[in-house]
């Protein structure tokens, strides 16, 4: 069964406690938390104080997706805020290997995210060091965008490499995931589905999570 990671970017921030409660009662596995700095991506979302509060509202895994420049400056802060998984962007890291080690030394699981234009082959020399690879299936910065179909080829290629090397690295797919395309994403080899709008803009978010989980 896929791991389901609803993105709280699409949640109702005025009722964040209720949204957390709903996710806690649902079959969601992880809380996906999108941090944007207005530099790496053309949008600003939320940051450390919000994540600290969400941490107190759940015992589920907090999966923090950093869409920020110089993520190494804030790794300790996100650990303190309660992140279990910290994902940095390949395109934002000049010393990716060092940044991965830093995240692991802090006691978090380390993820690396790839923008739609970044080939999966570029991770060849760090694959064995990371717990998670996040494949962006939209250009990062905004929820509610359309899934880029070419992503399926990247997922397949990456899954083949992971299996050939006998690694446990998880493939997470983020952006434009819907009930209609989730099966093709899983079939391509993804382990984790992020879903923002599909979950929070649906009539019955718990039921939608159940349907994603049952794929
Ligand atoms: C986009 C974020 C996503 C976003 C997904 O930059 O990384 O996690 O919240 O939203 P949907 O599922 O609506 O495409
Ligand atoms: Zn994300």
What ipTM was estimated for this complex? 0.99
Give Cβ neighbours of residue 210 (< 8 Å, ≥ 6 apart).
26, 27
CB of 65 within 6 A of ligand 1: the answer is yes
Strands (E), 123-191: 132-136, 170-174
pLDDT of residue 115: 99
Choose the residue to mutate in 135, 194, 199 for probing ligand 1, maximizing ligand atoms within 8 Å of C-beta: 194
pLDDT of residue 103: 99
Cα–Cα distance between 113 and 45 in angstroms, integer?
A: 18
pLDDT of residue 24: 99
| 97-124 burial: b if 16+ Cβ within 10 Å, else e | eebbebbeeeebbbbbbbbeebebeebe
CB of 101 within 6 A of ligand 1: the answer is no
The per-residue pLDDT of the chain, averaged, comes to 98
197 in a labelled binding site: yes
By residue range, what is the domain housing residue 86? 3-213
Residue 131 is given by DSSP the state S
H or E segment at 33?
strand 30-36
Of the residues 12, 29, 174, 187, only one is catalytic, namely 174
CATH number of 33's domain: 3.20.20.70
Find the Cα–Cα–Cα–Cα dihedral 213, 4, 177, 99, rounded to 10°.
-160
pLDDT of residue 100: 98
Per the annotation, the verdict on 204 as an active-site residue is: no
The residue whose CA has the least distance to atom 4 of ligand 1 is 143
Number of domains composing the chain: 1
pLDDT of residue 38: 98
- The percentage of residues in the chain with a pLDDT greater than 70, rounded to a whole number, is 100
pLDDT of residue 188: 98
34 in a labelled binding site: yes
Q: Cβ-count burial of 203 within 10 angstroms (0-12 exposed, 13-18 middle, 19+ buried)? A: exposed
Cα–Cα distance between 20 and 140 in angstroms, integer?
A: 23
How far does residue 46's CA lie from ligand 1's centre (Å)?
A: 13
Length of the chain: 215
210 in a labelled binding site: no
Ligand nearest to the CA of 176: 1
The residue whose CA has the least distance to atom 10 of ligand 1 is 143
pLDDT of residue 107: 98
pLDDT of residue 8: 98
Low-confidence ranges of the chain (pLDDT < 50): none
Give 85-131 pLDDT, tens digit per residue: 999 999 999 999 999 999 999 999 999 999 999 999 999 999 999 99
């Amino acid at each position: 069964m896929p791991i389901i990671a609803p993105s709280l970017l699409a949640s109702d921030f005025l009722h964040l406690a209720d949204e957390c409660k709903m996710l806690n009662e649902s079959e969601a596995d992880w809380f996906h938390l999108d941090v944007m700095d207005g530099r790496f991506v053309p949008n600003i979302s939320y940051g450390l104080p919000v994540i600290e509060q969400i941490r107190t509202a759940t015992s589920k895994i907090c999966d923090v997706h950093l869409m920020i420049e110089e993520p190494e400056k804030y790794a300790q802060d996100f650990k303190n805020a309660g992140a279990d998984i910290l994902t940095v962007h390949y395109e934002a890291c000049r010393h990716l290997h060092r940044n991965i080690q830093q995240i692991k030394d802090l006691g978090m699981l380390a993820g690396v995210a790839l923008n739609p234009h970044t080939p999966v082959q570029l991770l060849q020399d760090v694959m064995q060091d990371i717990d998670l690879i996040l494949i962006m299936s939209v250009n990062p910065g905004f929820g509610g965008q359309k899934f880029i179909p070419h992503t399926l080829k990247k997922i397949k290629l990456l899954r083949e490499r992971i299996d050939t090397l006998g690694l446990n690295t998880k493939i997470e797919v983020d952006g434009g995931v819907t009930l209609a395309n989730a099966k093709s994403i899983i079939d391509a080899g993804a382990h984790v589905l992020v879903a923002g709008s599909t979950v929070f803009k649906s009539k019955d978010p718990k039921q939608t999570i159940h349907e994603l989980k049952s794929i």
